[in-house]
Structure 1
Amino acid sequence: EPAARAADGASAERNAEPSGKATATARPTATPAVPPADRPSAEPTAQPAPSAEPAPSAEPASTFVPLRGTDVPPPPAEAERTRQQPMPPLPPLDLLAELTNTPPPPETPVRTAVRRVKIWTPLVLLLLIVFAVVQALRPLPAPELALSGDPTYTFEGGKLDLPWPDEGQGGAEVEGVGTIGMYGEQKPAPIASVAKAMTAYVILKEHPISGDEVGPKITVDKQAGEESNRPDESTAPIEEGQQFTQKQMLQLLMIPSGNNAARLLARWDATSEEAFVEKMNAAAKDLGMTNTTYTDPSGLEASTVSTAADQLKLGKAVMQNDVFREIVNTPQIKIPGVEPMIYNNNRILLEPGVSGIKTGSSTPAGGNLLWTADTIIDGESRRIIGAVMGAQQGATLDDKLQLSIDNSLKVIRAAQEGVTSAAVVKKGEVVGYVDDGLGGRTPVVAAKDLKAVGWAGLDVRLKLGVVAGRQVPHAAGAGTVVGELTIGSGSGEVSTPVALQKDLAEPGFGAKLTRIG
């Protein structure tokens, strides 16, 4: 019994004292533990009975006392901060104050401005440096040539007046230069055998020959042989079964104005006359002959109509073929197998400079002539193309045709005398400049005299540009040819080289730096 009381006393002592120690040992915390004496016990503790025997030492029990579930202290109200949280960046002055334990100076407008200058000045300087480098390394714009003076030159004198007839319509122009003049209403009208110029154009386009070439042989069919004796139209004296070269057939078409030769060539080329007429109209469209309609290859039909302006376009195109030029400039010819001698209806071919192209006459058309003539300007031949259509004042068709021929000759003579040349630019004259694209301009001068072909009152345009396949350099020495000055076009074009008057240098750094765009 004394031993039992001693055990109960030791148990009571363990329950009453070590709870505070166990709490401190098991979970250290910044919150002070409540002393066991101030915390009411969950259940009453029995007081040990007095004993005669000394109580066993409690020291060993204080080393480790297991906690009961009811003795576990409650968790702290707020979790302990165990990791460092990221802090917002501090301004430079605040950070310095934090590091030196010196409070930041008070903010003032001046201090704020100084701080902003210190922050932004390096950035601005860096941007300026990058901008300057980019501007300096950008590719330079391509230099261009530009005229420095008036792009138009006007020939001296009043205005060239040509002796146009008072009926019908017509016009004339200098090839490669421009139109001398037009007269009458440019309204579609029958053109009669002038249509054969388009027939020849299509044949030479589909079967080109030049120089000494004569082309393939063409056999005269039955229809062409029978048509050779028609009294009501102009024909070529050919017979069925005969063979003629392409060049000979073109001669029979253009010189005696054989309608049967026109129809034979149409069938030879396109199988049928209708198919060939479609080719004629297609060719007219390609040449820009907007007021022209072909309905037959010979022009016999009154429904084949055109204007003088359209015929000038055809005349310029067909006269580019040397075989055609030779044929239409032939006053008379003897073709083997054809009797007798064949004479050209264009009776002014023997006049100086007259060289074609085609006559045409019929009751609805009157007398017509599409012609060309040459004039010598500065030692070079210049071609004049003209048309006189609708002569009706003669008593017979021959009279009407002759009237159109005579009227044409008057116009030809006036044009030959009126067309001249003028010195538009002299050697060494400043005509333009090289524009480097950044404000720099270097003058250029004509390398030789430049003469233009024209007539009184004519305005001609000057064009300054680079030579085909070349470019204006960014830098070159004085005297370097960099382009050419041109007047006219086509066969009438004349030009002179242009050279630098002084050294051409690349744009400087300042120009590169300030360039925009």
Structure 2
Amino acid sequence: MAILAVGVYAPATLLGPLPAASATTVSELPGQTDAAAPVLAADGASAVILAGDTTPFAQGGSTEALPLASIAKLVTALVVLDAKPLAAGESGEAHTIGTPDYQDYIDYSGGGARTVVVFPKEQWTQREMLQALILGSSNNHADTLARWAYGSVDDYLTAASAWLGAQGLDGITVADATGLSPDSRGTAADVTRLAALVQAEPAIAEILANPPSALVNNRGVSNTTAYLAEEGITGISRSYTDEAGVCLLFTASVPAPEPDGEPLAFSAVFLGSPDYDTLESDVRALMESAVAGAGTVPLIAQGERYGEFTAPWGATASAVAITAQSRRAWAAQDASLLVELDELSTAQLGRIVGSVSVSTPGGEHRSRLELDRAITDPGPAWRLLNPVPMITALLASVQGS
């Protein structure tokens, strides 16, 4: 019986599987410096999104949909361009001002709403109508464009609803082409995403970058979007209604503190600000925080240890990150760490053994992990002298097969 036992035990321990190494992970982000926080308004609703992101990383105030005021005109411009594309530098089709267009001008101007003057039988190109809409915040041109592209304002609204759904902007609804209706509403989060679509539309981007000095018949147009340009701001929409309060959508850029660093580019929105003085104070505070957040902080450091393996026979190795990941300090708030390690018994130096990911409100940043040293077989002596872990590993492998 002794000979039989030795004949079974020896092969089982010498040739059988080794027990798995125990694995521990770090629970906090190593090496991360304190990140600057964006300063957003307590009034109304506000949000900020970095250029290139699809999700705002910070929001302030209400998360509910609030009246949009003239930000709704940007939806009008985008939906019209969806039906009638216009390349940068092109004038587009011409539209003859008809009775409904002129009546809109009379009605809106009589009610104190923003308008750009039109007269019957004038010829307006698509580009000129968009310039009046976007830069002059012309309510009469909003309705004119909606009818010109879709036949009627009601048909435009149907198309706008479908377009918003297709873009995933479920937090925005429009009840008119102008934004004068308090039922044209949006969440700050989705309005910042709308800003990215505006910037990606060449015809609109060109209009915002190159405001004209005059339109049809040398008719002047005031650029209502211009706002605090000395702060690095490019206004996209700035407006007021009694129901909406003051609303501002803009893009901005502040220089990086590092030599040859990338500027910090972002879009932000303020909805429902009580007055223009409050808005200016809030925007300046946001820009000051942007300057503080223009630098980068490490989220994942190359070569940093994110896990540790310890074999039952005492061998150890660390799981270290292969790829460095960093984030703008401004956008590194509320970062959370997740480390996933594979099960192993022995492994060579450099083997991929898991991953580390850091989630921020603006997205996930990820790196694979590799071993910084090999974990080798302990040899026959350890195998023979440690029956409990060896037999346990053997039984586990049999049960798992």
TM-score under structure 2 normalisation? 0.67
**1:424 corresponds to 2:302:** no
* Aligned counterpart in structure 1 of residue 131 of structure 2, from 221, 227, 251: 251
Secondary structure in structure 2 of the residue aligned to 1:424: strand
Distance 1:180 1:226, change over 3 A: same
* 2:90 maps to 1:214: yes
Cα offsets for 1:450-471 (capped at 9, x unmatched): 3222339822245789xxxxxx
Of the candidates 288, 291, 297, which is equivalent to residue 414 of structure 1?
288
Structure 1 pair 462–220 and aligned structure 2 pair: CA distance change class (3 A)? farther
Opposite residue 267 of structure 2, the aligned amino acid is I
Deviation for aligned residue 1:254:
0.9
C-alpha distance in 1, partners of 2:357/2:85?
A: 32
Identical-pair percentage: 22
List per-residue Cα deviations over 1:86-126 (Å, max 9, x = no partner).
Answer: xxxxxxxxxxxxxxxxxxxxxxxxxxxxxxxxxxxxxxx9x
Unpaired segments of 5 or more residues in structure 1?
A: 1-124, 126-135, 137-145, 393-399, 435-440, 466-474
- Judging changes above 3 Å, is the alpha-carbon distance between structure 1 residues 481 and 291 closer, same or farther for their aligned structure 2 residues? closer
**Could you tell me which amino acid in structure 1 is paired with residue 246 of structure 2?**
G
2:78 to 174, 198, 201: 201
Correspondence list, 1:261-410, <5 A: 261-286=141-166, 289-290=169-170, 292-330=172-210, 332-334=211-213, 337-377=216-256, 379-392=261-274, 400=275, 402-403=276-277, 405-410=279-284
Shift of 1:300: 2.0
Deviations 1:328-348 (A, max 9, x none): 355x32355352443321332
- What is the alpha-carbon distance in structure 2 between the residues aligned to residue 171 and residue 147 of structure 1? 41
How many residue pairs end up in the alignment?
355
Q: Give the deviation of 1:489 after TM superposition.
A: 8.1
Contact 1:488 1:494 in 2 (8 A): yes
Deviation at 1:287, TM superposition (A): 5.1
In the aligned structure 1, how far is the partner of 2:289 from the partner of 2:269? 13
The answer to whether the aligner puts 1:172 opposite 2:54 as a matched pair is no
Query: Could you say what secondary structure the match of 2:80 adopts?
Result: helix
Matched, 1:182 2:60: yes
| Residue matched to 1:452 | 327
The one-letter code matched in structure 2 to 1:414 is E
Shift, 1:298, TM fit? 0.9
Please give the secondary structure, in 2, of the residue aligned with 1:455.
helix
1:375, 1:384 within 8 Å by CA — same for their partners in 2? no
Deviations 1:262-281 (A, max 9, x none): 11221232221101112223
Change (3 A) 1:365 1:427: closer
Secondary structure of the 2:268 match is strand
Three-state SS of the structure 2 residue aligned to 1:369 is strand
Amino acid at match of 2:268: G
SS at match of 2:173: coil
For 1:127-149, what per-residue CA distance to the aligned partner results, in whole angstroms no more than 9, with x for missing partners?
xxxxxxxxx9xxxxxxxxx9943
Q: Secondary structure at the match of 1:214?
A: coil
The separation in 2 between residues aligned to 1:180 and 1:490, in whole angstroms, is 7
Q: Is the 8 A contact 2:254 2:264 kept in 1?
A: yes
Contact map agreement 1:155 1:456 (CA 8 A) in 2: no
* Bigger RCO (CA 8 Å, 6+ sep): 2
- What is the Cα deviation at residue 493 of structure 1? 6.9
Relative distance call for 1:373 and 1:412 in structure 2 (3 A) is: farther
Query: RMSD in angstroms over aligned alpha carbons?
Result: 4.8
Superposed displacement of residue 259, structure 1: 1.5
| Distance apart, 1:297 and its partner CA | 0.7
Structure 2 residues without counterparts, runs of 5 or longer: 1-7, 9-16, 18-22, 310-315, 341-345, 377-389
Contact kept, 8 Å, 2:86 with 2:92, in 1: the verdict is no
Please list, as runs of the form range in 1=range in 2, the aligned pairs for 1:420-499 lying within 5 A after superposition.
420-431=295-306, 445-455=320-330, 458-461=333-336
Residue aligning to 1:74: none
Alpha-carbon distance between aligned partners in 2 of 1:458 and 1:306, rounded to the nearest angstrom: 25
C-alpha displacement of 1:152: 5.8
Deviates more, 1:425-434 or 1:228-237: 425-434
Question: 5 Å matches for 1:505-516?
Answer: 515=397, 516=399
Q: Is the contact made by 1:147 and 1:464 (CA closer than 8 Å) also made in structure 2?
A: no
Does the C-alpha gap of structure 1 residues 354 and 304 become closer, same or farther in structure 2, counting only changes over 3 Å? Answer: same
1:203–1:160 Cα change, 3 Å:
same
Structure 2 counterpart of 1:426, which letter? A
Look at both structures and tell me which one has the larger radius of gyration over its CA atoms: 1
Q: Is the 8 A contact 1:155 1:457 kept in 2?
A: no
* Aligned mates of 2:95, 2:367 — CA distance in 1: 52
Name the SS for the 2:57 alignment partner. Answer: strand
Q: What per-residue deviation string (whole Å, max 9, x for no partner) do you get for residues 212-246 of structure 1? A: 4637424143133454455222223445341414x
Q: Which amino acid aligns with 2:272?
A: G
The answer (yes or no) to whether the contact 1:169–1:186 under 8 Å persists in 2 is no
SS in 2 for 1:347: coil
Aligned-partner Cα distance in 2 for 1:492–1:406: 30
Query: Could you tell me how far apart the structure 2 residues matched to 1:447 and 1:415 are?
Result: 32
C-alpha distance in 2 between matches for 1:209 and 1:493 = 35
